[in-house]
Amino acid sequence: MSGFDVSEFVVRAATADDLPAALAINQANLPAVGPATLDRFEWFLAHAEQFTVLEQAGEVAAFVITVREGSAYDSPNYRWHAARLTRFLYVDRIAVDGSRRGRGAGRRLYDHVVAWARQTDACPVVAEVNVRPRNDASLAFHAAYGFRIVAEVVDPRYDDQVVAMVQLDC
């Protein structure tokens, strides 16, 4: 991508037409993100606080899905945060197309998420990152973005171990 510039990215709400591309990005990022189905992504589109895509040259380059407190979302990781916080914006997943990693796409999406959380009084932003299997790139990214580890939790669905994280600067 000669001449690549992060300003080439357009942040926008996902549409039903974006779901196959977002799902392909999700599945290409396993096990860094949990597996998904088109039905699950359709549920997110209808029920998540945000299902946001980052578009470049007319293609979905990355996406992020967030869920507010009070949701009927069945994720044990979401439920862990919900049992401890009265207000929050949960990052269920963020994934970037492999050819666009390391070029600012994740930061651009997190900038959008944190701005949204501040504007809608949804702070703090919370997430989790795998430590079994270990996701060093995501751990480093989240730490650099101001997230701090608050607990280690086992995800019973996959027997993964994650660290629950909170973005303290929100």
Digitized pLDDT (tens) for each residue of the chain, 170 residues in all: 334 455 689 999 999 999 999 999 999 999 889 899 999 999 999 999 999 999 999 999 999 999 999 999 999 999 999 999 999 999 999 999 999 998 999 999 999 999 999 999 999 999 999 998 899 999 999 999 999 999 999 877 777 899 999 997 88
pLDDT at 5: 55
pLDDT at 4: 45
pLDDT at 2: 37
- Burial class of residue 7, CB neighbours in 10 A (0-12, 13-18, 19+): exposed
Going by C-beta distance under 8 Å and a sequence separation of 6 or more, which residues neighbour residue 145? 107, 110, 167
Structural domains for the chain? 6-167 (3.40.630.30)
pLDDT at 136: 94
